[in-house]
Structure 1
Amino acid sequence: MTSPFDLNHQNNEIDSKIVVALERLSEAFRVLLWNESKLNALSPIQIQILIFLLFQPVEKCRVSYLAKEFNMSKPTISDSIKSLLEKGLIHKKSDPADSRSYIVSLTDSGRLTAIKSSDFTRSVENPVSSLDLQQKEIMLDGLLKIIHGLNLAGIITVQRMCFTCTHYRISDEGHYCKLLQTPLAYKELRMNCQEHEAVEIV
């Protein structure tokens, strides 16, 4: 199989160019996240956990869910949780629904750190904002389909996007949400929906 990193192949195949472009973007996110983590004397995954706790509902703030969200083992997430507890950035309390589990939440200090760190993607947002609406819609559509394909392949395990939701359907008129009972424009497609109900992958 020819690698997309083979320049002789890459320069003549648009698929390879797109794959390499996505790899470059992933590298940019790694650099930005690493820089943010160094500023706060935290690891990249600890920064990601704080941001997740800031914006996600309490029922998702458990070690088991965090492990799925970030495609990591429970022990790895537990180590990060322990470190964040020691730094006074999070609380944990028993889960009333499961005595063997616990719920994690931010302290005041953790909330301030999470709010500040959640802006680490600004350097990526700026060039995105310079695109016109049609370019953004085409890009969003393509990226959602790629992410959906990776989810179906089991590479990305947790998704709360329209394409993986039982409420979503595609019709002659386009995208449609059965829960909201309304058509969806491209810009209304969600990457992260609180009402998401996952379709079972057979």
Structure 2
Amino acid sequence: MKSKYNSLLILIISLISCGVKIVDQRMGTDKEVFDSASQFAKLVLGKQLRKHFTEYKRGEVGVDALFESDGMMGYTTFSNELYQKGPSPLDVKGCVLFAANFKNEENAKKAFNQLKSNSAIRASEVIGMVGVLPVQVRFLEQNISSGALITQHDNYVFYLPATCESSLHGSNSKDYENLFLSFIIEQNQEIEIINVDCEMDTFLIKKIKVSK
């Protein structure tokens, strides 16, 4: 009887240990993705880099609404030292990256898929409507002329603004976007993006492989 009890105890401890390892691995992956994104922002801004974390509040406009979806926890703004942090900014001038954190990868994918659908809608089509849809559509259209890249990886949805006005000297928008993606995914790994064609002012959805 004692032997069966000991065996059961060992099994329970093993299962708990495996569960802890899985959670630790997921947390480690999330941290790696965020740290990699931070390194990109540091490369772009150097000593001017500032980070601002904003807890998610439902019903806001601007950047908050861009990420609004189930499981949204908050987002980090990577900006220069001149950027004045405000609640749910509409003007993203001075910001090089937004990283929205979700409770799990499924929530992040759901938010990204929602943005994919809404990126195909024009502001003229949502006049008189209320809710997240018209707010997201208007925000996307407002920032389309300066360029943008939106993508999802692990528990994060990333928004890279002003890609048509690259902050790195000598780089075009494609090189700038590729550089960012090379920080968050492995070489030749495929990732789906929502992207602005700088010459057409149109959002495109495509899957690409990043070369480092």
TM range (shorter): 0.3 to 0.5
- The structure whose RCO (Cα within 8 Å, separation 6+) is larger is 2
Instruction: Judging by fraction of residues, say which structure has more helix.
Output: 1
TM-score, normalised on structure 1? Answer: 0.34
Higher strand proportion: 2
